[in-house]
């Protein structure tokens, strides 16, 4: 296993981290696998796998029954809500569990659509994943007008002046991403929320891409909604939605009659994926333990999670600097997004590139043969690939670092890309 141990206080214990993830020890064609596919879904620690299988072994039941396994299921789901509340900095009854971010966003956009009148406006951005665009565009059929916020092409950041202009007294919802899943840009979410509220609009934040990389505090952001997907931050394939209690109570979900009107259950329909929900607490506990390794004095689970993110960010920033510097030295390579190391606090370690003479699919395939997992295409950030006119040419090659990656893995990616480019010259 390739590891780099960092000993300083508050730093990531990478040997411990990698030991938590059994899948990282896989090989491909005789080479250790390098997981640079985190933005599509991260690997999971053993404890998540154990929690899922233990639930199926011991507690498998439907909810609200008058017997042991059903009661344990109820307690387990309540525990998962508390865990996510600690992760996001809110109360457990403000957490809605669901299939994934996309379905939760559609459910909420439909409910908000019931309040809209012709002429009401919704502000979206070109930087967003389609899951934070299409559910809102669907409200055009109810007479809503969509306003798209521009980007600065040179560094793929949001044009905040355009955003300020487009949010008006007609705006009912501003839906924006916390970070771009294609080019890594971190938006000034607090400012976006402030601008929305100044005009009486609600702010809906897609934190799917940001969640594995940085701490989230929904109270400090003051956002009305925030969505993320646990499979992007070391958990099972599920989505979670935070909603301010007042909105979860006031808005009318489409739901079956037998579903109670209690918050948050009125937003959770049918039988949920209990075994995966069991994995949620384990994944938050993993992050908390990571934080306790970095800072054993962390007094609460939330404090430990925040310590984890501090260690994660320090580690990822180091890898990102080496990766970006190495990529920029490759001839004919174009790197999209923020390139200036002084501004790296405004980007995630998710890097989109194109290399002249190679399609992104060809690069991803050749890297894949060497055991290096990257993505090609648009990853549903379709508005961005269209806006940058790369959609017709296969989108980007996306290299996504996570905290379990190592300096050796960065070097392997760079060496492999250099070889692939040189072999065609
Ligand atoms: C930024 C972003 N938003 C939304 C989604 C959709 O999430 P889900 O698969 O949970 O619906 C993704 C998935 O890749 C994403 O990266």
Taking residues 259-274, what's their average pLDDT? 95
pLDDT of residue 9: 57
Per-residue b or e along 157-177, where b marks 16 or more CB atoms closer than 10 Å to that residue's CB: bbbbebbeebbeebbbbbbbb
* Contact 235 CB / ligand 1 (< 6 Å): no
| CB proximity list for 69: less than 8 A, separation 6 or greater | 58, 59, 60, 61
Query: Mutation test of ligand 1: which of 38, 103, 104, 181 has the most ligand atoms closer than 8 Å to its C-beta?
Result: 181
* Contact 125 CB / ligand 1 (< 6 Å): no
Structure confidence at residue 61 as a pLDDT band (50, 70, 90): very high
Q: Where are the alpha helices (DSSP H) in 11-66?
A: 14-20, 46-54
Tell me the average pLDDT of the chain: 96
Cα 16 to Cα 301: distance, rounded to the nearest angstrom: 19
Percentage above 90 pLDDT, the chain: 96
Cα 25 to Cα 34: distance, rounded to the nearest angstrom: 9
* Tokens standing for residue 145: 């007008």
* Contact 102 CB / ligand 1 (< 6 Å): yes
Query: Mutation test of ligand 1: which of 229, 239, 377 has the most ligand atoms closer than 8 Å to its C-beta?
Result: 229
- Whether pTM exceeds 0.85: yes
Structure confidence at residue 8 as a pLDDT band (50, 70, 90): very low
pLDDT of residue 258: 87
* Contact 265 CB / ligand 1 (< 6 Å): no
Per-residue b or e along 347-364, where b marks 16 or more CB atoms closer than 10 Å to that residue's CB: bbbbbbbbbeebebebbb
Structure confidence at residue 5 as a pLDDT band (50, 70, 90): very low
Q: Residues 21-54: pLDDT tens digits? A: 999 999 999 999 999 999 999 999 999 999 999 9
* Contact 229 CB / ligand 1 (< 6 Å): yes
pLDDT of residue 425: 63
pLDDT of residue 421: 94
Structure confidence at residue 424 as a pLDDT band (50, 70, 90): confident
Is pLDDT at 396 greater than 60 in this prediction? yes
Is pLDDT at 7 greater than 90 in this prediction? no
Distance 410 CA to ligand 1 centre (A): 25
Q: Residues 268-320: pLDDT tens digits? A: 999 999 999 999 999 999 999 999 999 999 999 999 999 999 999 999 999 99
Q: Residues 309-363: pLDDT tens digits? A: 999 999 999 999 999 999 999 999 999 999 999 999 999 999 999 999 999 999 9
């Amino acid at each position: 296993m390739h590891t780099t141990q960092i000993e300083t206080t508050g730093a990531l214990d990478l040997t411990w981290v990698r030991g938590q993830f059994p899948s990282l020890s896989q090989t491909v064609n005789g080479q250790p696998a390098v997981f640079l596919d985190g933005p599509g879904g991260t690997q999971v620690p053993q404890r998540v796998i154990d929690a899922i299988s233990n639930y199926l072994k011991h507690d498998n039941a439907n909810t609200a029954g008058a017997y042991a396994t059903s009661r344990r299921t109820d307690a387990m789901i309540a525990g998962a809500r508390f865990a996510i509340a600690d992760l996001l900095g809110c109360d457990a009854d403000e957490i809605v569990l669901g299939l994934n971010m996309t379905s939760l966003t559609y459910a909420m956009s439909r409910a908000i659509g019931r309040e809209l009148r012709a002429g009401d406006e919704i502000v979206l951005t070109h930087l967003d994943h389609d899951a934070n665009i299409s559910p809102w565009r669907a409200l055009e059929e109810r007479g809503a007008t969509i306003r798209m916020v521009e980007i600065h092409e040179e560094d793929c950041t949001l044009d905040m002046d355009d955003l300020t202009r487009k949010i008006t007294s007609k705006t009912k919802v501003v839906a924006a991403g916390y970070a771009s899943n294609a080019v890594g840009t971190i938006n000034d979410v607090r400012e976006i929320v402030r601008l929305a509220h100044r005009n009486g609009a609600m702010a809906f934040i897609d934190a799917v891409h940001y969640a594995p990389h940085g701490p989230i505090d929904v109270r400090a952001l003051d956002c009305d909604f925030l969505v993320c997907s646990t499979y992007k931050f070391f958990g099972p394939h599920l989505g979670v939605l935070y909603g301010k209690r007042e909105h979860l109570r006031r808005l009318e979900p489409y739901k079956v009659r037998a579903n109670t009107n209690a918050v948050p259950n009125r937003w959770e329909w049918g039988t949920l994926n209990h075994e995966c929900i069991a994995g949620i607490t384990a994944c938050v506990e993993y992050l908390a333990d990571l934080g306790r390794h970095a800072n054993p004095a962390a007094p609460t689970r939330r404090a430990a999670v925040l310590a984890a993110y501090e260690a994660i960010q320090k580690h990822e920033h180091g890898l990102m600097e080496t990766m970006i510097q190495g990529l920029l030295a490759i001839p004919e390579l174009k790197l999209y997004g923020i390139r200036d190391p002084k501004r790296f606090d405004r980007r995630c370690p998710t890097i989109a590139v194109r290399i002249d003479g190679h399609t992104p699919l060809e690069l991803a395939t050749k890297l894949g043969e060497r055991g290096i997992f990257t993505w090609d295409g648009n990853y549903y950030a379709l508005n961005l690939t269209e806006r940058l006119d790369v959609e017709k040419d296969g989108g980007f090659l996306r290299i996504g670092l996570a905290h379990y990656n190592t300096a050796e893995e960065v070097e392997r990616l760079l060496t492999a890309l250099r070889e692939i480019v040189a072999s065609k010259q």
